Amino acid sequence: MKQYFNARVAVVIVYVLAMFMSALDSTIVNVALPSIVEAFDVPPAATGTINIGYLISLAMFLPAAGWFGDRFGTKRVFLAALAIFTIASALCGIAHNMFTLNLFRILQGIGAGFLTPVGMAILFRTFTHEERPKLSRILIIPIALAPALGPVIGGLLVDVLSWRWIFYINIPIGILALVIGKVYLQEHLEEAVGKFDYKGFLLSLSGFSMSIYALTQGTIKGWTSPEILITGLVGISLMIALVLVELRIDKPMINLSLLKDPMFRTMSLISLCSAAGLLGMLYVFPLMYQNALNVSALHTGLTTFLEALGLMVASQIMPWTLKKLGLQRLLIFSLLGTIIVFILIALSALSNPWLLRVLMFGIGFFLGQTVGAAQISAFKHIDSASMSRATTLFNMQNRLGSVLGVAILASVLGATDAVEGEHIGLLTYQYALFGAALFLIIAWIIAMRFKETENKRKPQLRLDDVERSKGIG
């Protein structure tokens, strides 16, 4: 096939298409749940498994992504995961009952578990640390725009066509990414990858999935229910065992020694806390706006959409602010700005809707710079051989942060609802938003200490020089 553009441009296009599809899928499904209930004649509670199965299967296979990419080739594994996700999307669209839909959603989760870390490894091996800030202007599309567009696109597809089209929409995107990736992506294998870490895989598979299940279902089934208590305790025990095992293995599946690098460790923790705060806020705010303030779903969506626009603006100026302020000051100022905006949203819930929309834009503007700077800086000292394991570990922490944020804030709402035995009041939602700000305060404290930590020890890992050719434009 004739090559129509630079190979480095193709890497960006394939990554953006794959991540856009995956990110869109994380929010587009929710608006179709009522239609699925009606189509399959099941109770609303039964649709919870549609997302649970997806999240757990993703969590189960995410830790193994780095090893598979190094062993069998990042191009081969990435395209296989992309094909699995695309085929599973088509199968979800033709599902004829809840069992088959849940089964195909689990298959989707397996593909998604490999897509992000392997795709990120390909991207960061292609572009040097100095080039990565410019990438934020493009990479923000799947990070911010896709999740925000999910409810809007999903609502249109459900109303005009049917719920099945929320899955069919992935097919053309997936095929396009597969064709471009097949032609342009370069294969990368690591010779010294080591044997497959079966102990680590089994411990992470069971421990991570059980922990995610307990966190996502605790507020629904009750934190004191035997099912949640046993699942959660066993999951935590297995995760502790995983850490102990991985630290003793020469070639572990989850390379925890990467956390010895101060830059990677600090940026990972800041990203974890930022994900917990942002996802927690995006969970609480729509509930507060609709249930406590009786605002329509449409207006709620339009209000939260401003956060995505703020992220996109932040992505355009982040390379400039990073250069002018430096990493530490940028993180301190952007996190402090986000904390202030979070508090203002909690205090201004009854204010003019346009004030809330401006504040939502502010969250995206400030936190977008934090997330972008942390992501591109985390891998500054990671060499090419360790990149797949590093992106896997980074994404595992982000996934855990997202689930923790939603689970903890949901438990605040659930506990109050259980005590009062009535509709959750506005004050409770405000307390939950303050809780979301606490995650960012932790990230801000870490950022304040970052310079001292960075100067204490020199980086142990060096980024391999990547041959530069024509830029991304």
Looking up residue 141, the CATH number of its domain turns out to be 1.20.1250.20
Q: Is residue 421 part of a domain?
A: yes
Identify whether residues 269 and 330 lie together within a single domain. yes
Q: Are residues 205 and 190 in the same domain?
A: no
Angle at 254 between CA 250 and CA 258, to 5 degrees: 80
Residue 342 within any structural domain of the chain: yes
**Which of 239, 252, 234, 268 shows the shortest CA–CA distance to 198?**
252
Q: Are residues 308 and 452 in the same domain?
A: yes
> pTM (2 decimals)?
0.74
Asked if residue 206 and residue 187 are part of one domain, the reply reads no
Q: How confident is the model at residue 314 (pLDDT cuts 50, 70, 90)?
A: confident
Closest to 165 in 3D by CA, of 24, 297, 51 = 24
How many domains is the chain built from? 3
Q: 331-379, pLDDT tens digit by residue?
A: 999 999 999 999 998 888 777 788 888 898 998 889 888 888 888 888 8
25: amino acid identity, one letter: D
* 152 and 276 together in one domain: no
Please check whether residues 365 and 293 belong to one and the same domain: yes
Query: Are residues 74 and 221 located together in one domain of the fold?
Result: no
Same domain? 164 vs 229? no
- Rounded to an integer, the average pLDDT of 73-81 is 91
Do residues 344 and 436 both lie within one domain? yes
Do 382 and 267 share a domain, yes or no? Answer: yes
Residues 37 and 148 in one domain: yes
Question: Are 9 and 132 part of one and the same domain?
Answer: yes
Domain assignment present for 472: no
Residue 473 forms part of a structural domain: no
pLDDT at 224: 79
Q: What is the pLDDT of residues 137-149, one digit of tens each?
A: 677 666 667 776 7
Angle between helices 387-420 and 198-221 in degrees, nearest 10: 20
Cα distances (Å, whole numbers) of residue 305 to 7, 217, 298, 386: 33, 27, 10, 37
Domain span holding position 214: 198-248
Coil/strand/helix, residue 410: helix
Burial of 250 (0-12, 13-18, 19+ CB in 10 A): exposed
